[in-house]
Amino acid sequence: MATNRQTQVRLDEGVLEAGKAAARSRRLDFNKYVERLIIEDTTGARAAGMAAAQRLIDEHGTFLDDLEQQLDAPYNQQQPGAAA
C-alpha cells in the first residue's frame, strides 16, 4: 500500500484559486486534483486523452458543428416583442 507524503508547493494566488475552482468543478479536493494532474502528465494519460479528443474532432468535427447549430437554432431566432 502506498504511503502518502506531505509536501509544500508555492503557487501564485491566481493559479491557486484557479486550481481550487477546477478541483471543485470536478468534485475533488485540491490534493487529489493535483495528484491526478501529476499522474496524468507523467504516465502519458493526458497526452493520450488529448490525442483521442483531436481524432474525434478531426473525424466528426463537421457533424458536431452541425449538431451544435441545430441545437442553438431555437435560441437564435428573433423572439416576438424583442428589440431588433
Answer whether residue 11 shows pLDDT above 80.
yes
Mean pLDDT of the chain: 89
Q: In this prediction, what percent of the chain has a pLDDT beyond 70?
A: 90
Where residue 23 falls (left for φ over 0; alpha for ψ -120 to 50; beta otherwise) is alpha
Q: What integer is the mean pLDDT of 24-53?
A: 91
Answer whether residue 79 shows pLDDT above 70.
no
Where residue 33 falls (left for φ over 0; alpha for ψ -120 to 50; beta otherwise) is alpha
